[in-house]
Amino acid sequence: MLQTVKTCNSVFKMNFPLKMGHDANGRPVFKTIEAYRVQHSHHRLPVKGGIRFSEAVNQDEVEALAMLMTFKCATVDVPFGGAKGGIKIDSKDYTVEQLERITRRFAQELIKKQMLGPGLDVPAPDYGTGPREMAWIKDTFEAFSAGDLNSPGTVTGKPVSQGGIRGRAEATGLGVFFVMREFANAEGAMEKLGLTSGLQDKSVVVQGFGNVGYWAAHFLVNWGNARVTAIGEYDGMVTNPDGLDIAALKAHQNATGSILGFAGGVSHPGDSAECLTLPCDFLVPAALEATVHSANAAKLNTKCIVEAANGPVTSKAEDVLVERGIQILPDILVNAGGVTVSYFEWLKNLNHVRFGRMMKRHTEKSQTLLIDALERNTGRELSPIERANITKGALEQDIVYSGLEDTMAHAFSEMHATAVRENIDYRTAAFLNAIHKVAQCYEELGVFP
d(CA 242, CA 204): 11
Three-state secondary structure along 136-192?
Answer: HHHHHHHHHCCCCCCHHHHCCCCCHHHCCCCCCCCHHHHHHHHHHHHHHHCCCCCHH
Contacts of residue 245, defined as CB under 8 A and 6 or more positions apart, other chains included, come to 264
DSSP state of 115: -
Secondary structure letter of residue 26 according to DSSP: S
Helices (H), 28-123: 59-75, 96-112
CA dihedral 423, 424, 425, 427 (to 10 degrees): -140
Distance CA 206, CA 213 (A): 6
**Spatial CB neighbours of 5, under 8 Å, sequence gap ≥ 6:** 41, 67, 70, 435, 438
Choice among 84, 88, 138, 202 that is catalytic:
84
Best CA proximity match to 137, nearest among 63, 87, 89: 87
Is 421 strand, coil or helix? Answer: helix
CA 97, CA 323: separation in Å to the nearest integer? 50
**Degrees (nearest 5) of the Cα angle 93, 99, 104?**
155
Catalytic (active site) residue 250: no
Strand (E) or helix (H) holding 30: strand 28-39
CA angle 212, 214, 220 (to 5 degrees): 100
Q: Give the whole-angstrom CA distance, residue 281 versus residue 268.
A: 21
> Distance between CA atoms of 225 and 50, rounded to whole angstroms?
31
Helix (H) or strand (E) holding 123: strand 121-125
Pick from 15, 19, 16: nearest CA to 30: 19
242/203 Cα distance (integer angstroms)? 9
User: Strand order of the sheet with strand 280-285?
Assistant: 266-269, 236-239, 227-233, 203-207, 280-285, 302-306, 327-329
Q: What is the rounded distance in angstroms from the CA atom of residue 114 to the CA atom of residue 301?
A: 48
Among all residues, which ones are annotated catalytic? 84
